[in-house]
Homo-oligomer: A and B are copies of this chain.
Amino acid sequence: MKLQEYAAKELLVRAGLPVPPWSVADTPAEARSQAAAYLAAGADRVVIKAQVLVGGRGKAGGVKLAATADEAEAVAGAILGMDIKGITVRRVLVAPAADIVREYYLAAVLDRGARRIRIMGSAEGGVEIEQVAEEDPDAIVSLLAHPHLGLLDHQARQVAFAMGLGDRWKEAVPVIRGVFAAAIANDADLVEINPLAIVRSVEPDGTVSESIQALDAKVTLDDSALFRHPDLEALRDLSEEDPVDVEARGLGLSFIRLEGSIGCMVNGAGLAMATMDLVKRAGGEPANFLDIGGGAKADKVAAAMRLILSDASVQVILVNIFGGIARGDEVARGLLEARSQQTRDVPMVVRIVGTNADLAARILDESGVGIEAATSLDAAVERAVELARAAA
């Protein structure tokens, strides 16, 4: 689960990291009043940032500065409703603009190959780390935390010194440890601060001081561990999600809506992807990814079918079940149940093999409902694409 910047920053604060104040606005008016407050408190300008879960929002015009409350309202109005890579901006973050002395990069990320949490830091902050990795790999310091002992003090020091934060290493070490701690405390696959910055601030009495601050944050949580962080579920931004995805999650189904016309219902993520690949190869377009999981019962199958059919662009449904834990007869019963409640007449191509496939075939056969049966995956896909073409 990816968190929006504002939610990610909340987790950083809980881990004791220094984050400048921020607020979240859903309307230009909200943004205006928040900006006015920051400006009144001494900020020269405020920054308004689109809250979307895709990269490149800056280049897309989703991050702007404003020097007055009027300007903040106008900028927020322009960003809210903007489309960034297919996502509509529904929320902006408002924060005082920081007086940045220097930008750094810092992250804790799951390294699947090394099977450890990797800490990465760089004095080249504020740009995509992939770009730094390509152009100047020596500018990145990277090391693996111990699987049991975590990030050790000396590792945090090593990162601090290698990032060029040697003259303020005592301030940097808790920040580096904090990023790791945030990953562990929240079961995060990724905690990224880019930029981490040395920020200059001027007190009312004119004193100038500099400190390390986290100015942006990306956090991705491990979905399998959400059960032990019930509070984090509240940070999920449902506004950006397709309501159908939300419903699918409630049903324990793995569902992703796509653009095509062929609804797919498959058991197993790998087989589901392979089925979609074959649909595409045969000239069709899958309408969704759907893995009904291992022990799917009839009622879950029926619910999954309703989800697929809720998409008006679905013209044909392709069911591909290889029984293992899932039993063919259960799936067949679920299909019939869904069919009986179905208001829209969409043709269905069904291929069920493996555990209790014979029973499934008999159930479907005896039902008298017009469900086309296929035994081979290739034939099922071909027929589904053919039906979709006919319907188009």
Please give, as numbers and ranges, the residues of chain B lying within 8 Å of A148 by CB-CB distance: 148-149
Q: Across the interface, name the chain B residue whose C-beta is closest to A150.
A: B148
Please give, as numbers and ranges, the residues of chain B lying within 8 Å of A149 by CB-CB distance: 148
Restricting to A28-63, which residues have a CB under 8 Å from any CB of B? none
Q: Across the interface, name the chain B residue whose C-beta is closest to A146.
A: B148
Shortest beta-carbon distance, A145 to chain B, in Å? 13
Question: A137-159: contact bitstring with B at CB < 8 Å (1 yes, 0 no)?
Answer: 00000000000110000000000
A370 to B246, CA, bound (A): 92
Q: Across the interface, name the chain B residue whose C-beta is closest to A148.
A: B148
Shortest beta-carbon distance, A46 to chain B, in Å? 44
Shortest beta-carbon distance, A116 to chain B, in Å? 14
Question: A107-150: contact bitstring with B at CB < 8 Å (1 yes, 0 no)?
Answer: 00000000000000000000000000000000000000000110
A148 to B149, CA, bound (A): 7
Shortest beta-carbon distance, A327 to chain B, in Å? 32
Shortest beta-carbon distance, A151 to chain B, in Å? 14
Question: A188-201: contact bitstring with B at CB < 8 Å (1 yes, 0 no)?
Answer: 00000000000000
Question: A317-333: contact bitstring with B at CB < 8 Å (1 yes, 0 no)?
Answer: 00000000000000000
Shortest beta-carbon distance, A308 to chain B, in Å? 41
Q: Across the interface, name the chain B residue whose C-beta is closest to A147.
A: B148
Shortest beta-carbon distance, A166 to chain B, in Å? 29
Shortest beta-carbon distance, A117 to chain B, in Å? 15
Shortest beta-carbon distance, A33 to chain B, in Å? 47
Shortest beta-carbon distance, A332 to chain B, in Å? 40
A149 to B148, CA, bound (A): 7
A149 to B149, CA, bound (A): 9
A165 to B65, CA, bound (A): 67
Shortest beta-carbon distance, A237 to chain B, in Å? 35
Shortest beta-carbon distance, A355 to chain B, in Å? 32
A362 to B149, CA, bound (A): 53
Shortest beta-carbon distance, A150 to chain B, in Å? 10
Shortest beta-carbon distance, A152 to chain B, in Å? 13
Shortest beta-carbon distance, A366 to chain B, in Å? 48
A148 to B148, CA, bound (A): 6
A294 to B149, CA, bound (A): 32
A259 to B335, CA, bound (A): 91
A173 to B148, CA, bound (A): 23
Restricting to A197-256, which residues have a CB under 8 Å from any CB of B? none
Question: A299-329: contact bitstring with B at CB < 8 Å (1 yes, 0 no)?
Answer: 0000000000000000000000000000000
Shortest beta-carbon distance, A178 to chain B, in Å? 20
A149 to B147, CA, bound (A): 10
Shortest beta-carbon distance, A130 to chain B, in Å? 34
Interface residues of A (CB under 8 A from B): 148-149
Q: Which 2 A-B pairs have the closest CB atoms?
A: A148-B148, A148-B149
Can you offer 2 A-B residue contacts whose CB atoms are under 8 A?
Answer: A148-B148, A148-B149
